[in-house]
Amino acid sequence: MGLYAGMLNEEQKREYSDRELFARYIKSILPFKKSILLISLFIFFNAIAETINPLLIGIAIDELSNINSNFLIIFGVGGLYLVLSILIWILFFLRRKEIGKFVPFYLEKLRMKIFDKLQEQDMSFFDKHLSGKLNTRVSNDALDFGETTLLLADTLGNLLISVLTFGMLLWLNLTLALLTLIAIPFIFLLVFSLRRLVKIVSRAYRKAIGSVNDAMVESIEGIHVSKSYGQEATVSRQFQETNKQYFRAGFKITAATHMWSPVLETIAAITLIVIIYFGGQFVFQGITNPGTIFMFILYIQKFFRPIMVLSTFFPHLSAGMAAYERILDVLDSKPNVKQNPNANDIGSLEGEIIFKDIDFCYRGDEWVFKGLNLHIKKGEKIAIVGHTGAGKTSLISLLTRFYEFQGGSIEIDGIDIRDMTLNTYRRNLGNVQQDVFLFSGSIEDNIRYGRQEASEEDLWNVIKTVNLEELIEYLPEGLQTQIGERGKGLSAGQKQLVSFARAILTDPKILILDEATSSVDAYTEAIIQEALEVLMENRTSIIIAHRLSTIVNADRIIVMDNGKIVEEGTHRSLLSQKGKYANLYKQYFEHQSLDWQPTQVSQDID
């Protein structure tokens, strides 16, 4: 047990039975009926040809054993054997060619299903699944499952040959055929004893691949941090341990796949020796002739070949089905964010927002909001402040429908947002995050991301509104300048300006700024602040900020603490209350005031 003790002790979660997995697989390949029919025909005719060939050899040997051999028969049988051998090769080629067309096409459709399903999920799904593991399911798992399809086709052909061959064994010599059957229970006992072990090590192997992908993604995305702290060696050591776990899992699945082959081959060899011994006795006694015994030996080899393949079939099948199970885990996932079945496409909203008795938690009973109420008027500019964990970003996440709330309702212009289709609803939102994500491509592609059909005039109006034209003029290729992954090649401030332009080009009625200026320099912030005054006109604006300049001029400031609204009002009125906001102001905002001096006693700003 030493080799597998760790795996056998590891708890494994099964969501699908083998029967259900196989049924789902059969259902998934039904659209490819033509390819499956052709592959089946090639397998069938190949099995017939494989079964006839040993019979021809036996006829030739018997004819050669006669004193008066008829060489016409011998040459005729030899020619037919050659023709069948060529036919077997052609059928094998055609089968592999058809599989070569079917499997990639099937995998293309499968990967698109996985990818499209990932696009449907809300943020709670991605909170539970690491990006590396999801990447494994789209790439490695789909590829491994495709190899299972090839394995099933080959195994089906081998089993058909085995059945036809055993029929020939019974026809040639019933006694020797029954002797051959004695070995079968021992072989199947060994083969089926592998199944449970292989299922365990296969899942562990898939998990190890996902861990390697996770580690790779994390190390690349966090390379700036690891280099900043001089932790490259530490990251390498951590990856080395992950890589060793992958090696151990790979070793165990390889051992489980091949460890029984020598035992099975030994059983087959002993059976063959027994058949040769008794067959020789039958020839000496005149019960049968040499050609029949030679045919019997050839048929035994063809009979055992598919059974021997089963020793590797079940491990590979289990690995493929483990991969398919992980794929189904994605395909069967249902997003928590739901819209009513009769949700309507909407046009342009006015922007009045009402949160009514909102109950929300990310997991279990750890409530973020319990009975939260908030009314935001059309065109109002509000700022939301509070300590980390107060619920600011959660409030925005519910409004943007990244997460589903468990109780209450959110209404815009008197319509429940769950009665609006997600696409048309989100077109009314402009969302600028603190951590800007830009896609690989040109700057123009990124600005047009939410409205690709926008005219050149609208595009340049937006660029001028957010003061981005200076950057465009500075770049040698202007708007067509290519930027790398996550906006590499641009500074934090430049990426922020591009994200502002992207949001505003869609002309949203509700503008959401989630700490959108906290990571830019003072010069860029001044440019953004100038642009914001224009951007917020005739729009309902919600700002989460750590900068005094972005909240002091808000129509209303909402102060949150532990998922509750504890204060609300203007900057002046809240300071005069000397409550939670006043404390936050002294801690976070007061030093940003132009009148602030390090030695002065904190006081209100007039």
Average pLDDT, stretch 355-374?
88
pLDDT at 10 over 60: no
Higher pLDDT, 24 or 418: 418
Most confident of 231-240, 445-454, 518-527: 445-454
Q: What is the DSSP letter of 602?
A: P
Query: How far is Cα 316 from Cα 328, in angstroms, rounded to an integer?
Result: 18
- Cβ-proximal residues to 197 (8 Å cutoff; 6+ apart), any chain: 4, 7, 8, 256
What is the DSSP code string of 443-488? Answer: HHHHHGGG-TT--HHHHHHHHHHTT-HHHHHHSTTGGG-EE-GGGT
Average pLDDT, stretch 122-138?
71
pLDDT-derived band at 376 (thresholds 50, 70, 90) equals: very high
pLDDT value, residue 377: 92
Topology adopted by domain 17-331 = ABC transporter transmembrane region fold (1.20.1560)
Average pLDDT, stretch 9-20?
58
pLDDT at 592 over 60: no
Backbone Cα Rg of the chain: 36
526 to each of 131, 467, 532, 549, 550, how far by Cα in Å? 36, 11, 10, 9, 10
pLDDT value, residue 353: 92
Most confident of 160-164, 306-310, 373-377, 471-475: 373-377
- What residue has token string 């006081």? 603
Superfamily of domain 353-592: P-loop containing nucleotide triphosphate hydrolases (3.40.50.300)
SS3 491: coil
Average pLDDT, stretch 9-23?
62
| Residue spans per domain, the chain | 17-331, 353-592
pLDDT-derived band at 411 (thresholds 50, 70, 90) equals: very high
Query: How far is Cα 306 from Cα 161, in angstroms, rounded to an integer?
Result: 8
Query: How far is Cα 234 from Cα 341, in angstroms, rounded to an integer?
Result: 51
Higher pLDDT, 366 or 209: 366
Range with lowest mean pLDDT among 85-99, 153-167, 571-585, 586-600: 586-600
Average pLDDT, stretch 553-577?
88
- The number of C-alpha atoms within 13 Å of 236 and in the hemisphere containing its C-beta is 5
Average pLDDT, stretch 493-497?
80
Tell me what the pLDDT averaged over the chain comes to: 76
Residue 465: Cβ-neighbour burial (10 angstroms; 0-12, 13-18, 19+): middle
pLDDT value, residue 374: 93
Identify whether the C-beta of residue 509 lies closer than 8 Å to the C-beta of residue 428: yes
Where b means 16+ CB within 10 Å and e means fewer, 107-128 reads beebbeebeebbeebbbbbeee
Span 516-531, pLDDT tens digits? 565 566 666 676 777 6
- The number of C-alpha atoms within 13 Å of 10 and in the hemisphere containing its C-beta is 17
pLDDT-derived band at 118 (thresholds 50, 70, 90) equals: confident
Distance of CA 350 to the CA centre of its chain: 38
Residue spans of alpha helices (H) in 332-385: none
Sign of CA dihedral 285, 291, 295, 298: positive
SS3 381: strand
Span 243-269, pLDDT tens digits? 787 777 777 767 766 666 677 777 777
pLDDT at 373 over 90: yes
Residue 7, number of CB atoms within 10 A of its CB = 20
Average pLDDT, stretch 179-201?
70
- What residue has token string 């070569």? 100
Query: How far is Cα 480 from Cα 472, in angstroms, rounded to an integer?
Result: 9
Residue 80, number of CB atoms within 10 A of its CB = 15
Quick one: three-class SS letters along 417-436? HHHECHHHHHCCEEEECCCC
- Cβ-proximal residues to 238 (8 Å cutoff; 6+ apart), any chain: 215
